[in-house]
Amino acid sequence: MGILNDRVVIITGAGGGLGAAHARVFAAEGACVLVNDINREAAQKVVDEIIASGGRAVANSSDITSYSDSENAVKQAIETWGALHVVLNNAGVNRDRMFASMTEAEWDTIMSVHLKGHFCISSHAVHYWRDQSKTGNPIAARIINTTSGAGLQGSIGQSNYAAAKGGIAALTLNQAAELGRYGITANAVAPAARTGMTTAVEAMAQRMASPTDGSFDYWAPENVSSLLAWLASEQASDVTGRVFEAEGGKISIADGWRTTEGVDKGQRWLPGEVAEAMTQLLANEKPAQKVYGS
């Protein structure tokens, strides 16, 4: 049927936007999809669309920010289809504000939904996969996380979102390094696509509007879904610990922080001498990409 034939997948935040696109593409490739969304009606609508198209899906409304409730998503997938192969952490919200005006609640909401939300279901899934691995069952499991360009280079007015998405990228690297022994890969994708979140601003909505002339729909969320579907497949067993960017027809690897050659005195730099080292460092620096909006 496709590259995900009989693979059991949990997709969070799949009641709309990117998550719904992922769910439809995964199901079309043969996956059994647990459509998770806190909005049960939205999740069921996506499930009904998938089933009407001949796919397999069930709805789930577990709260991904609750460690105990999120376990029910894992249990439901296993009870429904007898296995679990992929967790795609997609759910997210925005609480945009300039840092000087940001409230504690706006900060905490983003950390809870994005960073903790990426931990909860994945943790329960990893416990299941680790137990399976220890009993000798072959594991070809996948964790796919959703980061953002904001997390990779910053974004004016989104310090909470950027911090959470940067944390997700670092989490992915750790997961890949720690979980490979159990047959689990971990990768992250920074998507750029037309969703309710990205088109909330009128200027962005106009920029990302669907073409009316039949040309390539550059901002269609399904463009991103194809990369995720491949990462979820057994073909991607050798790819782990990567952060990808997907936009339109372009797929790229985000080249992360790297230690440079530096300036080594061989002994302690005195405070008054650091300026000398800094002059050399900045002269040889390859500047980071600019923060979005700066």
Domain covering 8-253 in this structure, CATH number: 3.40.50.720
**In this structure, are residues 139 and 182 in contact, taking their beta carbons and an 8 Å threshold?**
yes
- For residue 219, the model assigns a pLDDT of 79
Tens digits of per-residue pLDDT, 62-108?
999 999 999 999 999 999 999 999 999 999 998 999 999 999 999 99
Residue 146, beta-bridge partner list: 189
pTM of the model: 0.92
Indicate the domain borders of the chain: 8-253
148 is catalytic: yes
**In this structure, are residues 152 and 190 in contact, taking their beta carbons and an 8 Å threshold?**
yes
Out of 70, 122, 148, 225, which one is annotated catalytic? Answer: 148
Tens digits of per-residue pLDDT, 226-247?
999 999 999 999 999 999 999 9
250 is catalytic: no
Q: How far is CA 11 from CA 102, 133, 212, 282, in A?
A: 30, 23, 30, 43
Out of 128, 161, 225, 233, which one is annotated catalytic? Answer: 161
233 is catalytic: no
Instruction: In whole angstroms, give the CA distance from residue 226 to residue 239.
Output: 15
**In this structure, are residues 196 and 17 in contact, taking their beta carbons and an 8 Å threshold?**
yes
On the CB side of 294, CA atoms within 13 Å amount to 12
Tens digits of per-residue pLDDT, 140-198?
999 999 999 888 988 899 999 999 999 999 999 999 999 999 999 999 999 998 776 66
Q: How far is CA 41 from CA 15, 44, 75, in A?
A: 8, 5, 20
Burial of 13 (0-12, 13-18, 19+ CB in 10 A): buried
Out of 128, 165, 225, 233, which one is annotated catalytic? Answer: 165
Instruction: In whole angstroms, give the CA distance from residue 38 to residue 12.
Output: 9
